[in-house]
Amino acid sequence: MSGVVTGCGVVSAAGDSVADVLTAIRAGAAVRADVRDRFAEPLPEVEAPAIADFDVRGLLGRKGTSFLDRATALAMVACGRALADGELTPDDDNRHRIGVVLGTTTGSLKSTMDFSRETLVQEKPYLVNPVLFPNTVMNCAAGQAAIRHGLRGVNATVAGGPLAFLYALRYALNAIRRGYADALLVGGVEEYTPNTAWAARLTDAGPAGEASAVYLLRRRGAEATGARAEVLSVATGFAPDDADAGLAGCARRALATAGVRAADVWALAGDDGDGLRDAVPATAERLPVRPALGDCQAAAGALAFGALLARYAEEPASAGRPALVTGRSRDGGVAAAVVRGWAGGGDDHR
């Protein structure tokens, strides 16, 4: 049994659709927004692959949005869009079986660091603003998204930096296969703030990017009309000494689990194509995220997945052909997912 993607919600520097993400990736040049006046704090750069105009109140309304951090707001918007796109309306009959699984790096780094700093610099008895405390928990985005959209099913936050989306996808696929939920919003979110910008600069990972991409994953056969893609398998591994070999092993395991031959892989999304030279055909199309959208950390895998969906949508001849989404982290974590997509919309491709 597998999960079927029937909806998506994207907020990215390239635009608000998976087609926009694909266009930017294909162009290959870094998407740029002027970030000079965005924060009071200095930034390491004047332009960054950040979302140019994100109007929280315009998108979510005034009520309850005053204290949201950017990552949480981005996730809430993307979750709402994925539900709408997948035409799933949570109600009292289904909300206990619909959940949220989001990948993150550290939650909102800015919220955590600001709160910590306040406790150090404010006079005793530490006049920190308690309203901001909830933003410092790592599962804030998934929790707030569930509250906003009334989703009472499985709610999980899976931390894993650049691998977080693939980890979340694996978690979600298992939760659906094992009957813990009928539908899950699964995605990744990362915000651009001075904190992430400097973190990326100082670790030489930059430039920092930002995005939120969320997909509606449903149990195969459970009213899964309009299926765009099927997630067949996800494999994860840890290979600090030889990440290329580790990733290739992951890809082979994922393909074997999915019952797919490596020779049939037609596209590869993620920033790790080189490591898979020997594992998949050289002709397989590469869709790297980083050159266009920067270091999007927990959202990187979600953007790669979105680019694949867009690629399937624009080329009907690719229907049903398997593709890989891959990721790796600096410490040697590796992961790969096998996906099969269609031009999408309207048909149930079982």
Q: How far is CA 45 from CA 4, 31, 38, 147, 297, in A?
A: 40, 14, 12, 36, 18
Cis peptide before 125 (omega within 30 of 0): yes
> What's the min distance (Å) between Cβ of 179 and other proteins?
6
- Span interacting with other proteins, options 115-123, 171-179, 209-217, 326-334, rule CB under 8 A: 171-179
Q: How far is CA 208 from CA 72, 270, 301, in A?
A: 17, 16, 15
The CA dihedral of 258, 260, 262, 265, to the nearest 10 degrees, is: -100
- Span interacting with other proteins, options 80-88, 137-145, 173-181, 313-321, rule CB under 8 A: 173-181
Residue whose CB is less far from other proteins, 96 or 261? 96
Distance of alpha carbon 24 from alpha carbon 21, whole angstroms: 5
Per the structure block, which two tokens stand in for 153? 């099913």
Q: Which of 36, 129, 257, 316 binds other proteins (CB under 8 A)?
A: 257
- One-letter amino acid of 278: D
Residue whose CB is less far from other proteins, 178 or 350? 178
179 binds other proteins (CB under 8 A): yes
Evaluate whether 142 touches 182 at the Cβ level (below 8 Å).
no
Residue whose CB is less far from other proteins, 77 or 232? 232
93 binds other proteins (CB under 8 A): no
> What's the min distance (Å) between Cβ of 29 and other proteins?
42
124 binds other proteins (CB under 8 A): no
Total binding residues toward other proteins, as defined by CB under 8 A: 5
116 binds other proteins (CB under 8 A): no
> What's the min distance (Å) between Cβ of 236 and other proteins?
11
> What's the min distance (Å) between Cβ of 178 and other proteins?
5
- Span interacting with other proteins, options 29-37, 159-167, 174-182, 194-202, rule CB under 8 A: 174-182
Residue whose CB is less far from other proteins, 258 or 265? 258
> What's the min distance (Å) between Cβ of 177 and other proteins?
6
Residues composing the chain: 350
Residue whose CB is less far from other proteins, 173 or 200? 173
Evaluate whether 66 touches 144 at the Cβ level (below 8 Å).
no
178 binds other proteins (CB under 8 A): yes
259 binds other proteins (CB under 8 A): no
Evaluate whether 98 touches 126 at the Cβ level (below 8 Å).
no
Tokens 């079927």 correspond to 4
> What's the min distance (Å) between Cβ of 181 and other proteins?
13
- Span interacting with other proteins, options 30-38, 132-140, 170-178, 181-189, rule CB under 8 A: 170-178
Evaluate whether 343 touches 316 at the Cβ level (below 8 Å).
yes
Per the structure block, which two tokens stand in for 252? 């082979």
174 binds other proteins (CB under 8 A): yes
Residue whose CB is less far from other proteins, 149 or 170? 170
221 binds other proteins (CB under 8 A): no
| β-strand pairing of 155-159 with 98-104 | parallel
Q: Which of 26, 36, 177, 330 binds other proteins (CB under 8 A)?
A: 177
Residue whose CB is less far from other proteins, 82 or 156? 156
Buried/exposed code over 279-304 (b: 16+ C-beta within 10 A; e: otherwise): bbeeebbebbbbebbbbbbbbbbbbb
Distance of alpha carbon 9 from alpha carbon 188, whole angstroms: 11
Q: Which residues contact 1 (CB under 8 A, 6 or more apart)?
A: 176, 177, 219, 220
Interacting residues toward other proteins by CB under 8 A: 174, 177-179, 257
